Amino acid sequence: MIERFKEIVRMSPIATDKFINHCIGVYEILKQSGNREDVCNAGLYHSIYGTSYFDVTSQNAYNLNDRELIRKEIGEYAEDLVYKMCILPNREKTILSGNCDFSLSTYLDICKICKSNLIELKKSEGTNNTIEFDLFRYELLISYFNKKINPFLLENKLKNQVKVIDNLFPYHYHWSLDHYVKNSLFKPNHTSSKSQKYSDKTGRFVSYLSKKDFLNLDIFPYIKKIASDLGQDLFLKEYYIGCYNKSTYSDYHFDSSYSDTITILIYPNLYWEDAWAGDLKFYDDPPNSHFNRVIDFIPGRVVMFDSRIKHKVMPISSLAEMDRYSIAIKACFYSGLESFYEKDMNFDNMIYVSSS
């Protein structure tokens, strides 16, 4: 198989040892992973018709208008996999974003080939954030497809929605959250492990948490319950504590422009009075027309919403006898992982929460 592949490719004027060795490397990775022969053969020929990354192919050497030669070499199914991969525009993005009309079994096999392709590239050319992130997503897709799940077709129960959960936390844990935000260093005039203060105009204070800080909150079981209720795995992108003093507020804003991204707000205060205000106000679009919902600030409450919905925290009353705290979590479903490109694509801080 490999010798015949070399023979075919070397008839092309653009054939190089680097290209040949790369394709053989993909084939060997697939073989070592125990994949079927047709999938391995498709991996060997995975770029034979060219891709959106390069136009000239070994197939040009034969001056053919059909694919019969490669079908005879690797079989109809394997050749069909190769052809489907080669004609995709911006292959990685298209596959990982679910913008392809494949059956689950075809999608699974193509993901295995693409994952092996990236592993081989990583070996030969080194790694970078894009390769690592794409490998992570291919591994997830393979896991989903093996379970006969298409994550791109799962219902987003928060699409254009705002939902409230009360009494999620037992009293002892609610008390620990209240104690944490009021007595830790994550407050104005102090420093956190990922300190960042902004929005001086509104006077609020935001302290970003590291992954370790967040996990030390022991909040994972409750987030897992939220994921289970939503029926989808969650990918937590960033987490921070918001502190609002008297008369402080937030400007109206939205947290993401991407679909399938969500915001989870947790209210850790043990006590709060209605007269102290600080309610969460959600806006229709455009925001200066009218708002569609106001959520009271109630201790222990969890508010979840589509991150594309505009919202703001209303000013804290001068009557307030304590600060208003929130723990904010920016998250997404698998189909919203493209949102990691919003900033610096640093997914080292990401936490994966399974819904099962």
- Rounded CA-CA distance 45/237 in Å is 37
Residues whose CB is less than 8 angstroms from the CB of residue 221 and which lie 6 or more positions away in sequence, other chains included: none
The separation between CA 321 and the C-alpha centre of its own chain, rounded to angstroms, equals: 39
Nearest-angstrom CA–CA distance, 278 and 71: 66
pLDDT at 24 over 50: yes
**How many whole angstroms separate alpha carbon 44 and alpha carbon 339?**
32
- Of 200-204, 246-250, 282-286, 351-355, the one with minimum mean pLDDT is 200-204
DSSP one-letter code for 355: -
Average pLDDT score over residue span 330-345:
83
CA distance 262 to 161: 10
Average pLDDT, the chain: 87
Interatomic CA distance for residues 209 and 329, integer angstroms: 10
Instruction: Provide the 10 A C-beta neighbour count for residue 253.
Output: 11
> What pTM was computed for the model?
0.87
β pairing state of 324-332 and 162-165 = unpaired
Q: Place 57 in a pLDDT band, splitting at 50, 70 and 90.
A: very low
With a cut of 50, say whether residue 200 has pLDDT above it: no
**333: its two tokens:** 């479903």
Q: Which residue has the tokens 């694509």?
A: 345
pLDDT more than 70, % of the chain: 86
The secondary structure element, H or E, covering residue 171 is helix 171-183
Identity at 224, one-letter amino acid code: K
pLDDT in tens, 93-106: 999 999 999 999 99
Q: How far is CA 253 from CA 63, 287, 307, in A?
A: 57, 9, 10
Tens digit of pLDDT for each residue in 276-307?
A: 999 999 988 765 566 688 999 999 999 999 99
Q: How far is CA 315 from the centre of its chain?
A: 33
Q: Is the per-residue pLDDT at 63 higher than 50?
A: no
CA distances from 248 to 75, 268, 278 (A): 67, 18, 9
Q: For residue 72, what pLDDT is reported?
A: 93
Task: Residue 234: name the closest of 166, 177, 151 by CA.
Answer: 151
* CATH top-level class of 162-353: mainly beta
Cα angle 208-344-217, degrees, rounded to a multiple of 5: 25
- State the average pLDDT over residues 109-130: 94
DSSP three-state, residue 280: strand
3-class secondary-structure state, position 162: strand
